[in-house]
Amino acid sequence: MSDTTSHDSIDFDRYDRIRPIRWTGDALELLDQRKLPFTVEYVTCTDSDAVAAAIHALTVRGAPAIGIAAAWGVVLAARTVDADDGTQAATRLAPAMQRLNDARPTAVNLAWALARMRRVLAASGADWREVITREADAIASEDLAANRRMGALGAALIAPGSGVLTHCNTGSLATAGFGTALGVIRAGVAQGRIDKVYAGETRPWLQGARLTAWELQQDGIAPTLVADAAAAHLMSTGAVQWVVVGADRICANGDTANKIGTYQLAIAARHHGVKFMVAAPSSTVDMDTASGDLIHIEERDPGELFAVGGVRTAAAEIDAWNPVFDVTPHALIDAIVTERGVIERPDGAAMRAAFGG
Ligand SMILES: CSC[C@H]1O[C@H](OP(=O)(O)O)[C@H](O)[C@@H]1O
C-alpha cells in the first residue's frame, strides 16, 4: 500500500463549510437532506429513536455520516438510563442501540460506530457518560481528518488535465466534512489535477443531482450533471479518465458495496480504459465479510421510483424493484483509497496486508 501524499495547495477551510451533523450539547441537529437543494433546514433530534428514524428516512445519509449520527444517538439514549458504570449502562442501552443499528443494513459504518461505543462503555466506570460523549466527538473528528488525508492521497493518483465522473453524494453531506470521493475531487481541483467534474444524477433518490451538484456549487466547483444512462457514452468520448466513487462496505477481498449504479459504472469504465477509484475511510472496511455476495443490499420503498419531488413520473399500478446499493467486484477496481494509504488492484492479499485479518 503506497502512501505518497501532498497536502499542499489544498485550502481545506475553503472547501469545508457544510456540516450535516451538529451536536449542540443537548440535542443533535441534522441537515435535512430530503429537502436539499431547495430548502436548507435542520431537524433537531432529542432522543435516540428520533436519530434512528432520521437515518432510516435519509434525513441524514452517507455511510460515515450515519455512523456519526448513531454515535450521538447513543449519547442521547444515555439521558434515559441510570447506571453505576459502563457495563451496566451498555446493558440498559442495548435496546436503543439495536434500534439505531437496525435503521439501515448496508453501510458497515453504522455497526462499526455502535461497536466502538460499546467498547468504550465496557471499559468505563462512573464517568461513562463523559466517556461516550468524548468518543462520539472523536468518531466525527477522526472522520474529518481521514477525509482530508484521503483527498490528498486519491488526488495524487490523478494526472493533471483529467476529467472525473462521480456517482451519488460522497461529500461533506455524507461525512463529518470534506467528503470521501468528493474529497478526492476537491483536492484534485485545488491541485489543478482535475479540469472537469461530471456528476451522475443517481436515481431514484437523486443524491447526485440534488446533493453533489449543490454541495460542489458551494465550493465554486460547478459539476456537469449527466443522466445515469449517459455514463457509458460519456466514457466513450474520452472526456473522463477516472470514475471516483465512495463506498458503504468494503469486504475482505476488496469487493465494494456502493450506491446502485456503481457496478455498471465499473463495467463501463473497464471497457473504455477509464480508471476506477473507491475512496472510503477505514471505518468502511469490513474484514469480517469475506466477499460482496455476503452483503445485505438494502431495498427501499418502490414508491421512490414512482415519483420525483412528490410528482408521479411512472405509470400507475405497476410494480417496482428498488435495491439502493450494488456490489462492484474487486477485479473492476483500480484503486481503493483510505486514510491509511492506496491499495492498487485490490484483492484479498492486499486487503489483509493493509488491514490485517
Ligand atoms: C461517503 S458516503 C458513502 C455512500 O453512502 C451513500 O448511500 P446513501 O446516500 O444511500 O446513504 C452512497 O452509497 C455513497 O457512495
- Cα–Cα dist 94/86, whole Å: 12
What's the pLDDT at 1?
56
Please check if 350 is assigned to a binding site: no
Q: Is the C-beta atom of 324 inside 6 A of ligand 1?
A: yes
Single pTM value for the model: 0.96
C-alpha cell at 300: 427501499
C-alpha cell at 52: 434512528
Q: Is the C-beta atom of 61 inside 6 A of ligand 1?
A: yes
Phi/psi of residue 255, each to 5°? -55, 140
- Cα–Cα dist 289/296, whole Å: 11
- The verdict on whether 326 is a catalytic residue reads no
- Cα–Cα dist 224/327, whole Å: 26
Q: Is the Cβ–Cβ distance between 302 and 319 less than 8 Å? A: yes
Domain locations along the chain? 21-146, 150-355
Residue 291: DSSP 8-state: S
Residue 72: DSSP 8-state: H
The CATH superfamily of 21-146 is translation initiation factor eif-2b, domain 1 (1.20.120.420)
Catalytic residue among 248, 255, 326, 334: 248
Burial of 267 (0-12, 13-18, 19+ CB in 10 A): middle
Atom of ligand 1 nearest to the CA of 66: 11
Query: What is the value of ipTM here, to two decimals?
Result: 0.97
- Cα–Cα dist 97/73, whole Å: 8
- Helix/strand/coil percent split, the chain, to 5: 45, 20, 40
| The CATH fold of domain 150-355 | Rossmann fold (3.40.50)
CB contact set of 329 (below 8 Å; sequence gap of 6+): 255, 266, 292
Within its chain, how far is the Cα of 133 from the centroid? Answer: 22
By DSSP bridging, strand 249-251 and strand 285-286 are parallel
Please check if 61 is assigned to a binding site: yes
Residue 155: closest CA among 4, 345, 12: 4
Q: Tell me the mean pLDDT per 10 residues along the chain, length 357.
A: 56 78 97 97 98 98 98 97 98 98 97 98 98 98 97 98 98 97 97 97 98 95 96 98 98 98 98 98 98 98 94 96 98 98 98 94
Q: Is the C-beta atom of 175 inside 6 A of ligand 1?
A: yes
